[in-house]
């Protein structure tokens, strides 16, 4: 691909790239680039999901380790008590043997009283044995769970490494393709992508899918959006959750976390678990998902615009909502009412800059 792209594009928006394998139009080259970006982000979100699973497994293993330590301490105490009981019986000093002899006494009342003592001693002995057996079973069970938890951790760690390598390979492919292009080629690709995004946005807004009436966010949605806006200009880095860099779902999950509400880390889980909301009812702070596999997410700003961490090589910015092929929207706090007197956050200069206009609805890679 780099060899094909490594020459100047012919003038005009439909110029072709000559090469040893034939020619590629600017549109085809853009689609190649978009596909690489999408593959990189999909691999990144898969990596993020495994990383979250690994965090949970580690927490579970730590909790099991604490329980196992407590169980082993209790087992040790039970073994000491059982050993003491065994020694007393062996040495003839247990409470039971003397009282058995006292049963032969001629005084029935005395024998009856001693019978109660014998019964208490027998129950104590039985409880000691039961506790020992129970502690052994509990410790063995927790040890088995701890070993299984460690095995799952190791499996997830290996899976995470494999997925990390996949992300790095995809990003390397993107870097190689971009490095092979001249500034003239990059400018032509940018013009074509901008044109596609503008067309997609015009069509979407004209469709009436969005309500013309502006809506106010919830209190938490307002706080989440304010946080996202403050991150504008920070770089996209795969797997990043701030504060210096973000990927797409890292931005949205951290924004809502700073608003006091924890939501899933990845875009796929955000789409799968958070309540859906029609695009016609979008309010600022809602999350907008893209592509059939929900591999990209942005936060709705209002007026048909979103705040997003777009893709590798770009920065957090404001983009048209239709810059990517829409899947749907979710709302982390559907039961919360809207604030009154809402004023949209003030955007910093260059909020819509950042070297990215989205992946382009026209010619978006198929999932």
pLDDT at 102: 46
pLDDT over 90 at 251, yes or no: yes
Average pLDDT of the segment spanning 242-264: 96
Average pLDDT, rounded, for the chain: 75
The percentage of the chain sitting over the pLDDT mark of 90, rounded to a whole number, equals: 34
pLDDT of residue 155: 76
pLDDT of residue 107: 58
Q: 167-198: b or e for each residue (b if 16 or more CB lie within 10 Å)?
A: beebbebbeebbeebeeebeebbeebbeebbe
Tell me which of 149-163, 235-249, 286-300 is least confident. 149-163
- Cα–Cα distance, 156 to 335 (Å, whole number): 36
Q: Residue 197 has what pLDDT?
A: 87
Tens of pLDDT, residue by residue over 321-354, are 999 999 999 999 999 999 999 999 999 887 776 5
Residue 353's nearest CA partner among 311, 318, 321 is 318
Give the Cα separation of 273 and 253 in Å (integer): 13
Burial of 25 from C-beta contacts in 10 A (0-12 / 13-18 / 19+): middle
Task: Give phi and psi for 344, each to the nearest 5.
Answer: -60, 145
Q: Using only the alpha carbons of the chain, give its radius of gyration.
A: 33
pLDDT tens, residue by residue, 280-323: 999 999 999 999 989 999 999 999 999 999 988 889 999 999 99
Specify the DSSP element, H or E, that contains 298.
strand 296-302
Q: pTM above 0.75?
A: no
User: Quick one: pLDDT at residue 55?
Assistant: 76
Model confidence pLDDT, tens digit, residues 188-235: 878 888 888 889 999 999 998 988 778 999 999 999 999 999 999 999
- pLDDT one-digit tens code per residue, 102-143: 444 555 555 555 556 555 655 666 666 656 666 666 666 666
């Amino acid at each position: 691909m780099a060899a094909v792209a490594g020459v100047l594009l012919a003038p005009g928006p439909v110029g072709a790239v000559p090469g040893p394998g034939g020619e590629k139009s600017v549109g085809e080259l853009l689609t190649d680039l978009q596909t690489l970006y999408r593959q990189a982000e999909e691999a990144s979100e898969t990596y993020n999901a495994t990383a979250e699973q690994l965090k949970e497994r580690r927490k579970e293993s730590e909790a099991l380790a604490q329980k196992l330590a407590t169980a082993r301490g209790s087992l040790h105490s039970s073994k000491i008590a059982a050993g003491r009981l065994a020694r007393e019986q062996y040495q003839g000093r247990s409470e039971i043997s003397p009282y058995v002899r006292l049963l032969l006494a001629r005084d029935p009342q005395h024998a009856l009283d001693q019978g109660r003592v014998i019964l208490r001693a027998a129950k104590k002995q039985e409880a000691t044995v039961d506790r020992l057996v129970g502690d052994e079973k509990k410790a063995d069970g927790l040890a088995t769970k701890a070993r299984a938890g460690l095995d799952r951790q190791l499996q997830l760690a290996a899976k995470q490494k494999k997925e990390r390598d996949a992300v790095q390979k995809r990003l390397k492919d993107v870097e190689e393709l971009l490095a092979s292009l001249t500034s003239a080629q990059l400018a032509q690709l940018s013009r074509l992508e901008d044109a596609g995004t503008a067309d997609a946005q015009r069509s979407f807004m004209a469709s009436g899918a969005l309500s013309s009436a502006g809506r106010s966010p919830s209190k938490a949605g307002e706080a989440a959006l304010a946080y996202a806006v403050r991150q504008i200009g920070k770089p996209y880095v795969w797997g990043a959750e701030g504060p210096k860099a973000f990927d797409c779902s890292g931005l949205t999950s951290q924004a809502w976390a700073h608003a006091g509400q924890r939501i899933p880390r990845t875009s796929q889980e955000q789409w799968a678990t958070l309540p859906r909301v029609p695009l016609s009812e979008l309010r600022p702070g809602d999350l907008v998902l893209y592509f059939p596999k929900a591999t990209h997410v942005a936060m709705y700003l209002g007026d048909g615009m979103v705040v997003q961490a777009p893709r590798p090589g770009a920065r957090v910015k404001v983009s048209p909502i239709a810059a990517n092929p829409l899947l749907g929207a979710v709302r982390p706090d559907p039961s919360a009412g809207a604030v009154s007197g809402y004023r949209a956050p003030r955007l910093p200069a260059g909020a819509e800059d950042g070297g990215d206009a989205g992946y382009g609805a026209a010619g978006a890679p198929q999932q």
